[in-house]
Amino acid sequence: MSLKLAAGAAALKVVVLLSALLLGSCALLREPPVVLKMADLPLEGNVCRIAVLPFTNQTDYSMAETIFSRVFVSELVAKGNYLVSQEGDVRRILFQMRVMPGQELSSEQIRAVADRLGAQIVISGAVLEMRDTVKSGRRLDPALAVVLRIMEAPTGRTLWVTYSRAEGSDYRYVMHFGVINSVTALAEKVAVKILKVWENEGLKECTE
């Protein structure tokens, strides 16, 4: 990994640490997702056009960032009717800007991506933990931890930081019916829960 990529990964971890500290000890006792709001969303939360940057993988789980980002975007469109830029369009612009995979974007680069895609907000994310324990051929009690950032399109500044962590056992019901035993199923639960919290915090469903 180059120094530039390593710096980007370190920056994301710093964001997570600062978020936990700023949220305070009381917030650490709250059930995730936990949202740190640094500024209000544009248009009083009435945003529709969203660009989602490629997520980064801070784990040893292969393709963790792809698994969660695609599940998250799918739920984003399904639950909020948002107009999300195509993954291929985002990656093509980043390639043209010579942004390497995993590289942390500057505010100017975020603003440029948003401008070219006509996005009102930009979302970036990192998978901090993904575990899919296999025992006797069965996947048992997966775990997932992610951090997401909502950024303002015109400036590239971070508006909200969201941290969420869950395990498959969190969804265990009576007699083990309904237990989540795959990372994909757990990713769906985490994504839906994050979007629900965002809605409660002021992100409104798109009505365009």
Note the pLDDT tens digit of each residue in 150-171: 999 999 999 999 999 998 888 7
Range of the domain at 38: 3-201
C-alpha separations of 161 from 17, 37, 132, 151 in Å: 11, 7, 26, 9
In a domain, 103, yes or no: yes
Count how many domains the chain has.
Answer: 1
Cα distance between residue 199 and residue 170, in whole Å: 22
Average of per-residue pLDDT across 128-153: 84
Q: What integer pLDDT is reported at residue 26 of this predicted model?
A: 42
Report the CATH number at residue 121.
Answer: 3.40.50.10610
Rounded to two decimals, the pTM is 0.83
In a domain, 206, yes or no: no
Question: Tokens for 71?
Answer: 């599940």
